Amino acid sequence: MDRVGGVIYSESPKKVAASYYYILEPGLDVSIRVFSKNSYPDIFLTTKAKYRHVFGKSKFSTTGQFSNYYFGLGVSFVGLM
């Protein structure tokens, strides 16, 4: 340990902790075509329903913070360009 200008420092770097996660995500993805015409983009209503189960080794958090049900709903435009 050395002291420079009232600050104590060390020559050795700090060790970085790492977290390793693995995810298992069974679920259902559904897309329903709402509107289709040759000169316009196709419009789809999309939805996802999944369960995320995370397992692994963590230094910063618990795997239970990432495991839960997931539901998503959205609109997709296909063929805009």
Q: Tens of pLDDT along the chain (81 residues)?
A: 566 677 777 777 777 777 788 889 999 999 999 988 777 788 999 999 999 998 888 777 888 888 899 999 999 988 876
Question: What is the model's pLDDT at position 35?
Answer: 86
3-state SS class at 65: helix
Q: What is the bridge-based pairing of β-strands 2-4 and 7-9?
A: antiparallel
* Residue 74: predicted pLDDT: 96
Residue ranges of the domains in the chain?
Answer: 17-78
User: Is this prediction's pTM over 0.75?
Assistant: no
